[in-house]
């Protein structure tokens, strides 16, 4: 390594990150972080994305990490900048994503003495991160290999199962601009080996063997790497598959798309005897209530002990993104519980037909239209990101499935913040156009997400399902509160004109009120580059909640007789 200690430290740390798998970094401008920004920008294997808002930058980095399947760095200067990374770190910890938080810090002599832009950054993220390292101040006494291995360790720890955030904090003294060149000697490359975990097929099969009444529940994350295996297990056991829409299994393998509706009307005597859950918990509250009361085996990433209902009786750690690569040990055999599966699929057909007729008669402002009609408005090679609160629940209840596009969401901690930035990062990593479906409050929460669109040549269409407030609360017990208290504390109408957001970020804007009009705008807008905001003013929150509740009651009556035929 040549150059001064600061340059050597920055170049070595970045080389270590690269050796650990980093190929992208999101850099926020700042003075204290100068040496690391320069080192990242000069590294030939790492692409730098710039973002001026640290909170949005961290979510964008999280999207890149998920899209690339690699660790991604987000770099900030010291002070409050670091605190803005916490929400994305929380989502990465609980929803997955190899996020490397790299923060510059003031040197020890400037801490706790009132120096500007100085906070206690050591262990700032607490238990949210998988690991935190407060590195030494760059100095000639610190071996150059220390910096390289620190970078390797951070990248490998973040990408190890289960993927999650790590924090690397580096105190830096003035002067902050290193003397270049400072280049790591590539004659001594660093390599990293990652062990693989094979599935215990015998123990897994023993769980489902001989039980004809079972469900496989696929959770709320992209499980395309497990779709063949899930389908084979369903065939082998004769179990029905309840797939969260974000699993991306609907439309790709046989599933019960209306399972959330069915479960609300499911008599206890028809509960399954066992459940196999693959991946995280699903969006559906009905599914989670069922799993909390039925013995459940869990196939999940190693170290992901996700069992909020406390019903797990067996754990099978594996890499869900590559589960289909595990050699399938059995030849095709006869399904042991086929009548049970056939009954669920028959009920699914009845419910799907009734719901389609119900929605066809609904006003065009009912927000459920978007989820039912999603396949008709999404062009090929589009990445669809769905926001939390009402949008993901509409998706769960009304989306039949498709093979033409991939769905994503932030279901780790299910926040409404940062959804847009995460989706844009995912789409950028995959080289795809983004279709974001999000509520109006969530859209406003992450306006700075759209800064990179024009600068980086990205493409995004945003469908804002606009009910002027927090529509989810109209479907929850809070809706029984006195109207004046409910609207002020939970409904939170804002009355904002979202056209100004399109002007601010150089995008196009369309305001619609009927689903047919909205669908036509979406089909046209996604064929162009840049940012398109489709502001769909839906039915009132009160009217939608009443319509949804009535739909559930009417469908329950419709299915009451059909349940009696279930084996």
Q: Where in the chain is the domain with CATH 3.40.50.970?
A: 5-171, 364-538
pLDDT for residue 183 is more than 60: no
| Structure confidence by residue, pLDDT tens digits, 337-358 | 588 898 899 999 999 999 999 9
Q: What is the CATH number of domain 5-171?
A: 3.40.50.970
Mean of the pLDDT values across residues 465-481?
Answer: 92
- Among residues 83, 88, 74, 90, the alpha carbon closest in space to that of 33 is found at 74
**Cβ-proximal residues to 452 (8 Å cutoff; 6+ apart), any chain:** 49, 50, 51, 60, 424, 428, 458
Question: Tokens standing for 303?
Answer: 């170290």
Question: Tokens standing for 507?
Answer: 């995008």
- Percent of the residues in the chain that have a pLDDT greater than 90, as a whole number: 70
Q: What is the pLDDT of residue 192?
A: 59
Q: 42: pLDDT confidence band, cut at 50, 70 and 90?
A: very high
Q: How far apart are the first and last CA of the chain?
A: 72
Q: What is the pLDDT of residue 120?
A: 85
pTM over 0.85? The answer is: yes
Mean of the pLDDT values across residues 464-468?
Answer: 96
pLDDT for residue 196 is more than 60: no
Strand partners, 433: 382
pLDDT for residue 560 is more than 90: no
Mean of the pLDDT values across residues 106-122?
Answer: 81
Q: What is the pLDDT of residue 202?
A: 92
pLDDT for residue 334 is more than 70: no
Q: Which CATH superfamily is domain 364-538 in?
A: Thiamin diphosphate (ThDP)-binding fold, Pyr/PP domains (3.40.50.970)
Q: What is the pLDDT of residue 185?
A: 47
Q: What is the pLDDT of residue 180?
A: 62
Q: 309: pLDDT confidence band, cut at 50, 70 and 90?
A: confident
Looking at per-residue pLDDT, the higher value among 342 and 112 belongs to: 342
pLDDT for residue 44 is more than 70: yes
Q: 323: pLDDT confidence band, cut at 50, 70 and 90?
A: very high
- Percent of the residues in the chain that have a pLDDT greater than 70, as a whole number: 94
Q: What is the pLDDT of residue 332?
A: 61
Q: Which SS3 state, helix, strand or coil, does residue 110 take?
A: helix
DSSP string, 212-242: -SEEEEE-SS--GGGHHHHHHHHHHHT-EEE
Question: Tokens standing for 526?
Answer: 């996604």
- Among residues 82, 86, 62, the alpha carbon closest in space to that of 73 is found at 62
Q: 184: pLDDT confidence band, cut at 50, 70 and 90?
A: very low
pLDDT for residue 310 is more than 60: yes
Mean of the pLDDT values across residues 275-293?
Answer: 92
Q: Which SS3 state, helix, strand or coil, does residue 367 take?
A: coil
Q: What is the pLDDT of residue 195?
A: 53
What's the mean pLDDT when you consider all of the chain?
90
CB 24 within 8 A of CB 47: yes
Q: What is the pLDDT of residue 114?
A: 72
Q: What is the CATH number of domain 201-346?
A: 3.40.50.1220
pLDDT for residue 3 is more than 80: no
């Amino acid at each position: 390594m040549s150059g001064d200690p600061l340059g050597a430290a920055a170049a070595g740390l970045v080389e270590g990150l690269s050796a650990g798998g980093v190929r992208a970094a999101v850099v926020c401008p700042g003075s204290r972080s100068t040496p690391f920004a320069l080192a990242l920008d000069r590294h030939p294997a790492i692409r730098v994305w710039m973002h001026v808002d640290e909170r949005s930058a961290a979510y964008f980095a999280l999207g890149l990490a998920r899209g690339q399947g690699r660790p991604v760095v987000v770099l900030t200067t010291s002070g409050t900048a670091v605190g803005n990374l916490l929400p994305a770190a929380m989502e990465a910890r609980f929803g997955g994503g190899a996020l490397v938080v790299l923060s510059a810090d003031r040197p020890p002599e400037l801490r706790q003495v009132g120096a500007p832009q100085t906070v206690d950054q050591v262990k700032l993220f607490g238990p949210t991160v998988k690991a935190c390292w407060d590195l030494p101040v760059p100095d000639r006494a610190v071996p150059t290999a220390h910096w390289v291995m620190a970078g390797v360790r951070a990248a490998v720890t973040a990408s190890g199962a289960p993927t999650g955030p790590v924090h690397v904090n580096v105190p830096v003294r003035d002067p902050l601009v290193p003397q270049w060149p400072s280049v790591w000697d590539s004659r001594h490359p660093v390599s990293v080996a990652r062990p693989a975990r094979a599935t215990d097929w015998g123990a897994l099969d023993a769980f489902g063997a001989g039980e004809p009444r079972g469900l496989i529940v696929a959770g709320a994350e992209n499980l395309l790497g497990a779709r063949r295996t899930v389908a084979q297990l369903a065939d082998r056991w004769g179990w029905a598959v309840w797939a969260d829409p974000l699993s991306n299994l609907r439309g790709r393998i046989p599933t019960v798309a209306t399972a959330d509706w069915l479960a609300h009307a499911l008599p206890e005597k028809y509960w399954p005897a066992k459940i196999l859950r693959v991946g995280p918990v699903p969006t559906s509250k009905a599914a989670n209530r069922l799993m909390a009361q039925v013995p459940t085996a869990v196939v999940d990433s190693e170290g992901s002990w996700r069992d909020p209902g406390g019903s797990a009786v067996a754990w099978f750690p594996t890499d869900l993104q590559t589960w289909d690569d595990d050699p399938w040990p059995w030849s095709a055999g006869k399904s042991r519980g086929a009548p049970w599966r056939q009954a669920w699929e028959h009920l699914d057909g009845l419910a799907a037909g009734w719901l389609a007729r119900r929605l066809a008669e609904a006003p065009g402002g009912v927000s459920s239209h978007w989820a039912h009609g999603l396949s008709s408005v999404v062009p090929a090679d589009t990445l669809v990101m769905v926001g939390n609160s009402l949008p993901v629940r509409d998706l769960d209840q009304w989306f039949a499935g498709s093979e033409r596009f991939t769905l994503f969401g932030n279901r780790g901690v299910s926040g409404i913040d940062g959804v847009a930035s995460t989706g844009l990062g995912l789409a950028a990593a995959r080289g795809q156009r983004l279709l974001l479906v999000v509520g109006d409050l969530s859209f406003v929460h992450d306006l700075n997400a759209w800064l990179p669109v024009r600068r980086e040549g990205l493409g995004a269409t945003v469908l804002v399902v606009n009910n002027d407030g927090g529509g989810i609360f109209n479907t929850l017990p809070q809706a029984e509160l006195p109207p004046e208290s409910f609207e002020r504390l939970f409904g939170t109408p804002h009355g904002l004109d979202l056209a100004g957001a399109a002007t601010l970020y150089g995008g196009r804007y369309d305001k619609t009120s009927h689903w047919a009009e909205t669908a036509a705008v979406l089909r046209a807008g996604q064929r162009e580059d840049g940012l398109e905001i489709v502001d769909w003013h839906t039915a009132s929150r009160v009217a939608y909640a009443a319509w949804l509740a009535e739909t559930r009651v009417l469908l329950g009556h419709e299915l009451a007789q059909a349940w009696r035929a279930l084996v």
